[in-house]
Amino acid sequence: MNWKVLTAGAVITVPLVALLAEGFNRDPKLRSNALEGRQAPIFSLTTLDGDPFSLDEANGKPVVVNFWSTWCQPCKIEHPVLLRAAETYGPMGVHFVAVLYQDDASKARAYLNRSGSHWPTLEDPGGRTAIAYGVAGVPETFFIDASGTIVRKVSGPVSQEIMVTTLEQML
């Protein structure tokens, strides 16, 4: 018996199988709902223009927090939906905030100049806010009501329909 091979094998096998087995207790599709009904994590970040922004600023107003990046095609598909929603619901008091995810500020600035936006886009150094929100991939959108509770989390692009119904419920 070659004990070196055996030990090396055990060192690989046991944690790997244990890890995968533990994975069964965690449904990746349910994961996204873990934050729903909880208080939204507070963040203070700076916008692409260098201005400070804190979630507290929304005090008492509903907020839509959208995590996105320029390398994500579904985010671009989602962009017109956000634009339209911000045009309609922004004047009704809903705050829209975008958080840039694993991306360069310069690319984001160039994209937003081309495609337009009516909301602050925040830089998230080290992805701390994304981690606090459990972002598993972009786009992900969090609907936070006036009391600061996460009402809904959408993974993947938000459709026009979901956007409107969720916002109507929140108002």
Cα separation, 57 vs 59, in Å, equals 5
Considering only 136, 147, 165, 171, the residue that binds another protein (CB under 8 A) is 136
The CB-side HSE value for 62 (13 A sphere, CA atoms) comes to: 20
Residue 98: CB minimum distance to another protein, A = 16
**DSSP conformational letter for 103:** S
Which of the stretches 9-17, 50-58, 91-99, 146-154 binds another protein when contact is defined by CB under 8 A? 9-17
Burial of 98 (0-12, 13-18, 19+ CB in 10 A): buried
Of 24 and 60, the one with the shorter C-beta distance to another protein is 24
Number of residues in the chain:
171
x/- mask, another protein, residues 42-71, rule CB under 8 A, reads: -----------------------------x
Burial track 58-70 (b if 16+ CB lie within 10 A, e otherwise): beeebbbbbbbbb
Residue 154: CB minimum distance to another protein, A = 12
Contacts to another protein by CB under 8 A = 1-3, 5-6, 9-10, 12-13, 16-17, 19-24, 26-29, 31, 71, 73-74, 76-77, 80, 101-102, 114-115, 127, 130-131, 134-138, 159, 161
